[in-house]
Structure 1
Amino acid sequence: MPLVPQEHLDEVREELVRARRAGHRRLLVVYSDDDSRLVTVALDILYEIRDLVRGGEILYAYHSFYSDGAMRRELFAKGAPKDIDIEYISFQNLDTILGRTYNGCIIDLINNLEPNDLGKLMGVVRGGGLYLLLTPTPQRMLESVTRFQSNLIVPGYTASSLKKFFVRRFLNKLSEHDGIAIYDADSKFFVKKFPRQTVEPQAERKIVYPEKTKIPLKVFKLALTQDQVEVIKNFEVLYTKSEKKKVFVLTADRGRGKSSAVGIGLGWLVHKLRRAKGRCRVVLTAPNETNVQEVFRFAGKVLEMYKHPLEIRTESDYIVSIESKGIELVYLPPLEAMKTRADVLVVDEAAAIPVPLLFKLLDRYDKLIFSSTIHGYEGAGRGFSVRFLKRLRSREDIDIIEYEMEEPVRYASQDPIEAWIFDTLLLDAEPATLTDEDLKAVRNKEVIYYAPDEATLFLKNEKELREFFGIYIMAHYRNNPNDLGIMMEAPHHFIRMVKTSTGKVVVSLELAVEGSLGPELSRESAKGAWLMGNIIPDRMIKHYKILDFGDLKGVRIVRIATHPHVMNQGLGSFALAKLEEEARANGYDWIGAGFGATEELLRFWVRNGYMPVHLSPEKNPVSGEYTVIVIKPLSERAGRIVSIIAREFKDKLLDSLPSPYYDLEPEVALLLLEATPRFQTPFSIPLLKKARFLMYAWSDMTIENCMDVMSALAKYYFKAPNPPELTRLQKLCLVTKVLQAKSWHATLEDLKISMPQVTSELKEIAKIFSKAFLNVYSPEEALKYFFLTLKDLEENI
């Protein structure tokens, strides 16, 4: 006999029948603090609707590393209907099911509520399917500490310090949205019933295939929507010959079948190029290989239709390459994709890759497909559209095709569960629309630095929250729902913003308190232990071993972003100045930040008085950037420590430019060297070395014969308190050819100049160094060093 009363089961069944007519999903939350009761209710519901969900798989997501989570899964599996296919997956493996479609999904949220997990799972159920969320009671959810939250409890804070705003938002949004019911399993009572609204039957999808096309009908018939047909048709343009680069830019909300459509079109394009050229190589790149699995799968389907025997290579259950005679499709991380060549480059989730790296990829390939999600857990693509497409359209050497998909593949438009997840995770947040009055306020500097009440911002002031978070979505290439969760839950994070006098948010700041570690934690860090939530103190103590830094208390700027329509108007600098005032007043010792080192971004921080103090030893494989940490000391003690660290960093950087920083952009390296302190240091060159160098500077010896001396002089030049004047190009020549020890070819490529020009500049630098550091001002004065005797060497003239 079921635990759930039949009339309640009937309600769920009737609502699911209505949802199927509309092609929409439904979500039922079942809560209890009794594990066995939760499982029993879930089984009762599944038995009631099994005829509606049969014919496809049901997904059951749980936490395998919690014993009670594994126990509930076993209990459910024992009682589950035998005529329904159920796939069980642990949350840490969710990436393996992306792109799959299920008739229903049971989500065990007892042990954890993580925004990213919700973002991934809320796209896998087809229209007419049911999500069943198993949760503790609301009271227990607010009192307990989840795994996600426990990782946010950093030294100096306890579980009672957690803010719990995301949990409250989650509960509030479940109550607000249509298509959702909430069931109290303990009281056998619907806290919220499915809203009874008029349901319009789902319109039959009519797909019109192109009449005049090179692509066969059998390929188009793999498409499920008209949008997908249009995407596939655009691959014809990529096949045609052109003197210009051909770029296809595809954007879509999640669940529109973007990756599968790209895969279908790509499979046909590869087949045609293989026939025309005898071979075809395609590079697929994305933040990680999980993003391109659907592209691989559907490209493989089309190639098999054309009878190409495929050799598929996988790593950790993910496809990483497909090969056949004359055909290769291979996944490479963005940084590796930049170092190779291919007939076609596919960049999936392009919004998650920095714009400078996208342009480097663009310069390397002739046929490119940039595909990106606009709203989804993978990140948001509006910033990609604003920052990348605008510049792309201005290029005269590019034929660009643009298409935005709108029609969902798995469910009908206006799906209430999509509306709920977009709202809950702010996936569709946008910056404020700025009027002429708002823009005038910015121009006149009529802006205020504002510290919002976080309970009001996160739980009540939805408009301001969306304006605040929407700026991040526009400005940052790496966004995911966990960023929102951290902001709302972490006890050491806090929010500031800059608003116009008209009330619009134009700068968003997320900040974190770090430091005040005490001697014991500082010593642990110095020995190599990882200090949670203390990124800057951890790096400073690990790399420089100055334990005193752990005593200091600072503010790390986690993220700062300006509204895209009012950038470069001083708002970011205004926000930093006001933050500095606030931090000084509250007794903080320093403010700092860590970010991917680009010249533009680094220049912003240096201009605002921040000192570079650390550079990661490896590039981020997705962004292709080294991470730099900058600090602005506020107290006298912090100033002394940071000065010592910055000097040591400069010394280390000068000696590390050949390796590991050989591929650091010369402009970034130069900015780091010029932004760090200059200081008096002993300098001398033995006579024989001096003679060799002067022969290069004032006669006909080549630089290769005295690179050791040139390198020593270059290092001294960047340290010297009063160095001689060099042009920017001369400094870049020093960095690239001398300090990074790059080949002539690499130097010319980096600096975009000719061989005669770079050799001339280096020769001129040698003469300047000769005058400034060696007191030799002419060929005549250098001449005495060209004819040395044993006596000269012994007397060391």
Structure 2
Amino acid sequence: MNSTSSPSDSLDDALARLRAALGARRHRALLWLDGPLDSVLSRALALWQGADWSAPLWLGPDGEASRAAGSSALPTRQARSRLGGEHDLVIVDALSPGAGFDPDAFGALAGTVRAGGLLVLLTPEAWRDGRPRPDADYARLAAWPHPPEALSARNLVRIARRLAASPLVLHWPAASPVPELTLPEASLPAPQPAATDDCLSHDQAAAVRRLTRLRRRRPLVLSADRGRGKSSALGIAAARRLQAGEREVWLTAPRPAAIEPVFARLGEALPGGRREAHAFHAELAHGPVAVRFLAPDALSEALDGPGIDPRSPPTLFVDEAAAIPAPLLGRWLAAFPRIAFATTVHGYEGTGRGFDLRFRARLDSETPDWRACRLEQPVRWGEGDPLETLTRELLLLDAEPADDAAVGAALDAGGLDYRELDRQALADDEAGLGELFGLLVQAHYRTTPGDLRQLLDGPELTLVAAYAGAHCVGVCVGQREGGFPPALAEAIHHGQRRPRGHLLAQSLAAHGGFRDAAEARWCRVLRVAVHPAARRLGIGSALIERLAASAAEAGDDYLGASFGAEPGLIAFWRAQGMVALRLGLSREASSGEHALMMARGIRPGVEDALHAWRTRFATLLPSLLSAELGELDAAVAMALLETGEAPAVDAETLARLAWFAAGGGELALVRPWLARAWLAGRIGVPGALAEADWLALVAPLFQGRAFPAADRRSPGATPGRKARLAHWRALVGTLRAALG
């Protein structure tokens, strides 16, 4: 099948011919326009006006062209608000003044183009020659003191090179009055998705059946690439569960826009229902029913409140689960007996492969009867869709680490080679870049196309990698920060200035109260990832050591990291020699956890300052745990408390402990002395008590609670007051003996 315009064709004729050809195969296409600004915008507006497009969208900065598009124009920063929508035409303006190519926006909107539609990309003429320069969107990468125009444009060069070389790209050069729109040949018509009742494919119908038959403690993991009808399946299944007698189904996702297809299918399946904000209501034979969307933070708050019966919670559907932190998913897994996780296998929202690797062990341990369901058949477009293929290639959405067997063979054949990478050489090596980026994708719950741009073009970035033969088996990404001049450091310390970037240096100075941290030079570990087939060989620690050596040689003072506080990660970074310096007071939206900053010195002369910062944090921590961080997970609190120094235990402390252990008073009357003894024992004599016993004392001693917050939702599982007090007395007696 092909579609070719002749010199005598009008634009309307060429478009009609192209759309007919695309529609016959249920395909979509990318049309590339480059050249002088006026010429490109003129041709783009002619396309806009040259056909009867359904829900066209113009993405770009405010200007004459976007104003001509009227209400269908959208600023690039709002691209994700259209997730779940469908368009026949999307024009991405990366050319107008103030415009830039936002890889995340491009990836998001490519998935909204429906079969038979066009995505039109407007770029400077330099793209065609493989010479793009940093554009306006690079301002987001330009950390102080680097101006955007001084950055490299390796990512843009790579994308432009792939566009120019791909036979799937349609090109309309400035010199041609009408585009030559030729599609690749195809000998057979595209198979149409098989409709099954209200489902669009057999895959989707199978997923809906499983979702409607969820059993207690048997979660379902639903995975699919984009365009396979995954979210729609959730909507159909939710409607069927309500029709079968359920009163309420809950739904969560990283952002409300991601679940628009769910509400759309609910409206079709329950035509008498009504949408009200983030809920869908209907009246059925057995009474009023509802599907409610709760953002992840709101869902967690609902679990802590009285609005949910822990014995009979509603069914929960989690959409785009790969973009939600694993600790939140684990909490929901425990709280909701009937739960389904839906995730995109490859995409800007998160990677299903990473989700599978991180979460499978927990599923196996806590719900060994969990089930998996994969949707393969596209429903929004046909197999072999050119736009899907191009989007994956341009943004490396298909990036995968090396094959496990190949890595295993390479490790058996020889040793490991550690090296600092040249980013230009990496950008020119498509296969090598794919392996390395694939490691980062699977190691992090959410890695976006924008992260690829930062990897290739971000300023002050260092890449250290480990190779087994030709295969990348580990990578560590470091970001240089700090080094602010004294006057600017003072302004940062007092919250008067906030230059772009420099997370550790600025946060420790402005929020931790450590003014000198802004003047110090830092290397922050952004990411560290090791291939699954090469783990437990010390590769991660070796990479961090090589990054530290490189940073010290470059003149940096400290190596640091910022991450969601979780006991396993705290232990890992402590093993790398780091100490805790700051903990965020609220949960991060990106991780669902409190951000923790840790660091170590990497050159002589900086340990005194680091020790002072560590001591200040250790002094502050008990106060925070008793107030603002009273709901912090007790295991996290314990991991942080034990990073301090062991306090001295005097005779009065020992006497108070002995009195309480022998039956005197209440725990509240010995709390200050017992807290000191807990710190002294946990840090100095960790074997004095079992791990569970150390943990049992954290909430009553430091957080003003008789037992951890998680246990309060299940009162029947907690001991009574007398039993708790007797247990505490026994533990204190053991601790008193260990402390002498």
Give yes or no for TM over 0.5.
yes
Aligned-pair identity (%): 25
Is the 1:430–1:467 Cα contact (8 Å) retained in structure 2? yes
Amino acid at match of 1:202: P
- 1:527 and 1:146 map into 2 onto residues whose CA distance is 33
Alignment TM-score, normalising by the size of structure 2? 0.88
The corresponding residue for 2:359 is 388
Is the 2:660–2:666 Cα contact (8 Å) retained in structure 1? yes
Amino acid at match of 1:199: A
Q: What's the CA shift for 1:6?
A: 5.2
- 1:444 and 1:612 map into 2 onto residues whose CA distance is 40
> Is 1:699 aligned to residue 669 of structure 2?
no
Q: What's the CA shift for 1:236?
A: 3.8
- 1:371 and 1:403 map into 2 onto residues whose CA distance is 9
Aligned-residue RMSD, C-alpha: 3.2
Alignment of 1:389-404 (within 5 A): 389-393=360-364, 399-404=369-374
Aligned pair in 2 of structure 1 residues 45, 730: CA closer, same or farther (>3 Å)?
A: closer
Alignment TM-score, normalising by the size of structure 1? 0.82
The corresponding residue for 1:134 is 122
Q: What's the CA shift for 1:560?
A: 0.8
Residue from 142, 149, 159 that aligns with 1:153: 142
Provide the secondary structure at the position in 2 that maps to 1:618. Answer: strand
- 1:97 and 1:253 map into 2 onto residues whose CA distance is 18
- 2:44 and 2:692 map into 1 onto residues whose CA distance is 69
Alignment of 1:245-264 (within 5 A): 245-264=217-236
> Is 1:62 aligned to residue 96 of structure 2?
no
Residue from 410, 418, 425 that aligns with 2:380: 410
Q: What's the CA shift for 1:234?
A: 2.0
Alignment of 1:398-477 (within 5 A): 399-435=369-405, 438-439=407-408, 442=411, 446-458=415-427, 460-477=428-445
Is the 2:28–2:114 Cα contact (8 Å) retained in structure 1? yes
- 2:706 and 2:189 map into 1 onto residues whose CA distance is 64
Provide the secondary structure at the position in 2 that maps to 1:412. Answer: coil
Please, which moves more after superposition, 750-759 or 289-298?
750-759
- 2:642 and 2:575 map into 1 onto residues whose CA distance is 12
Structure 1 segments unaligned to the other structure (5+ residues): 64-68, 78-85, 210-219, 275-279, 778-797
Aligned pair in 2 of structure 1 residues 718, 394: CA closer, same or farther (>3 Å)?
A: closer
Is the 2:231–2:259 Cα contact (8 Å) retained in structure 1? yes
> Is 1:521 aligned to residue 492 of structure 2?
no
Provide the secondary structure at the position in 1 that maps to 2:171. Answer: strand
Provide the secondary structure at the position in 1 that maps to 2:592. Answer: coil
The Cα offsets for residues 151-197 of structure 1, whole Å up to 9 and x where unpaired, read as: 22122323343111111122112112233123332x4489x965553
Provide the secondary structure at the position in 2 that maps to 1:545. Answer: coil
The corresponding residue for 1:332 is 294
- 1:354 and 1:21 map into 2 onto residues whose CA distance is 41
> Is 1:612 aligned to residue 580 of structure 2?
yes
- 1:161 and 1:525 map into 2 onto residues whose CA distance is 24
Q: What's the CA shift for 1:402?
A: 2.1
Is the 1:736–1:747 Cα contact (8 Å) retained in structure 2? no
Q: What's the CA shift for 1:724?
A: 9.8
Is the 1:39–1:76 Cα contact (8 Å) retained in structure 2? no
The Cα offsets for residues 199-249 of structure 1, whole Å up to 9 and x where unpaired, read as: 34533526263xxxxxxxxxx32x2233222222223422xxx5x423221
The Cα offsets for residues 696-722 of structure 1, whole Å up to 9 and x where unpaired, read as: 232343324444554465467678x78
Larger radius of gyration: 1
The corresponding residue for 2:185 is 198
- 2:698 and 2:539 map into 1 onto residues whose CA distance is 33
Amino acid at match of 1:228: Q
Aligned pair in 2 of structure 1 residues 745, 492: CA closer, same or farther (>3 Å)?
A: closer
Alignment of 1:628-777 (within 5 A): 628-678=596-646, 695-707=659-671, 709-711=673-675, 713-714=677-678, 725-744=688-707, 746=709, 759-767=725-733
Is the 1:711–1:738 Cα contact (8 Å) retained in structure 2? yes
The corresponding residue for 2:85 is 100
Aligned pair in 2 of structure 1 residues 505, 8: CA closer, same or farther (>3 Å)?
A: farther
Q: What's the CA shift for 1:695?
A: 4.1
Is the 1:289–1:320 Cα contact (8 Å) retained in structure 2? no
The corresponding residue for 1:783 is none
The Cα offsets for residues 461-484 of structure 1, whole Å up to 9 and x where unpaired, read as: 111111101111211111111111
Amino acid at match of 1:375: H
Provide the secondary structure at the position in 2 that maps to 1:435. Answer: helix
- 1:554 and 1:691 map into 2 onto residues whose CA distance is 46
Is the 1:344–1:366 Cα contact (8 Å) retained in structure 2? yes
- 1:650 and 1:181 map into 2 onto residues whose CA distance is 61
Aligned pair in 2 of structure 1 residues 606, 753: CA closer, same or farther (>3 Å)?
A: farther
Provide the secondary structure at the position in 2 that maps to 1:505. Answer: strand
Residue from 180, 199, 207 that aligns with 2:194: 207
Aligned pair in 2 of structure 1 residues 724, 596: CA closer, same or farther (>3 Å)?
A: closer
The corresponding residue for 1:792 is none
- 1:478 and 1:206 map into 2 onto residues whose CA distance is 31
Q: What's the CA shift for 1:29?
A: 1.4
Alignment of 1:302-381 (within 5 A): 302-304=269-271, 307=272, 309-310=273-274, 312-314=275-277, 319-320=278-279, 322=281, 325-338=287-300, 339-340=302-303, 341=308, 342-381=313-352
Q: What's the CA shift for 1:322?
A: 4.1
The Cα offsets for residues 106-134 of structure 1, whole Å up to 9 and x where unpaired, read as: 22222111111101111111222122222
The Cα offsets for residues 649-698 of structure 1, whole Å up to 9 and x where unpaired, read as: 11111221122222322222222222234466x9796xxx9987654232
Provide the secondary structure at the position in 1 that maps to 2:432. Answer: helix
The corresponding residue for 1:229 is 205
- 2:59 and 2:553 map into 1 onto residues whose CA distance is 48
- 1:444 and 1:762 map into 2 onto residues whose CA distance is 56
Provide the secondary structure at the position in 2 that maps to 1:127. Answer: strand
Is the 1:257–1:409 Cα contact (8 Å) retained in structure 2? yes
Amino acid at match of 2:698: V
Aligned pair in 2 of structure 1 residues 726, 389: CA closer, same or farther (>3 Å)?
A: closer
Provide the secondary structure at the position in 2 that maps to 1:513. Answer: strand
Is the 1:611–1:675 Cα contact (8 Å) retained in structure 2? yes
Total equivalences in the alignment: 714
The corresponding residue for 2:3 is none
- 1:572 and 1:745 map into 2 onto residues whose CA distance is 33
Alignment of 1:566-645 (within 5 A): 566-621=534-589, 623-645=591-613
Provide the secondary structure at the position in 2 that maps to 1:449. Answer: strand
- 1:168 and 1:728 map into 2 onto residues whose CA distance is 54
